[in-house]
Amino acid sequence: MNGLISETQIKTLYRNYSKRLAELAPSNQPQEELLIKLDDMLGKARMELDRAEKSFENAEHIESLLLGNENFVDI
């Protein structure tokens, strides 16, 4: 993955979610259900990371447009 989010950050996020899920899950809950929940949590986290990355790219684009505009006045 390129941009703001590195593969290391994704792995760290995965480990953190795994630990948190283990804390929240009852000990008698089947492993498969836990993995499904974890996969869902990771999917949501990836969507949030993608949105954040896109917002950052948009902000950089706007900044470059503004800086390229000689009529722009820095306040």
Identify whether 1 is part of a domain.
no
pLDDT score at 17 = 79
Identify whether 50 is part of a domain.
yes
More confident residue, 8 or 26: 8
More confident residue, 26 or 1: 26
Identify whether 75 is part of a domain.
no
Identify whether 44 is part of a domain.
yes
**Contacts (Cβ under 8 Å, ≥6 apart) of 10:** 1, 46, 49
Identify whether 31 is part of a domain.
yes
**Contacts (Cβ under 8 Å, ≥6 apart) of 14:** 42
Identify whether 11 is part of a domain.
yes
What are the pLDDT digits (tens) for 20-70?
A: 777 776 666 677 777 888 888 888 888 888 888 888 888 888 888 888 765
End-to-end distance of the chain based on CA atoms, in angstroms? Answer: 36
Residues spanned by the domain of 22: 7-68
Identify whether 73 is part of a domain.
no
Domains: count for the chain: 1
pLDDT score at 14 = 80
pLDDT band at 1 (very low <50, low <70, confident <90, very high): very low
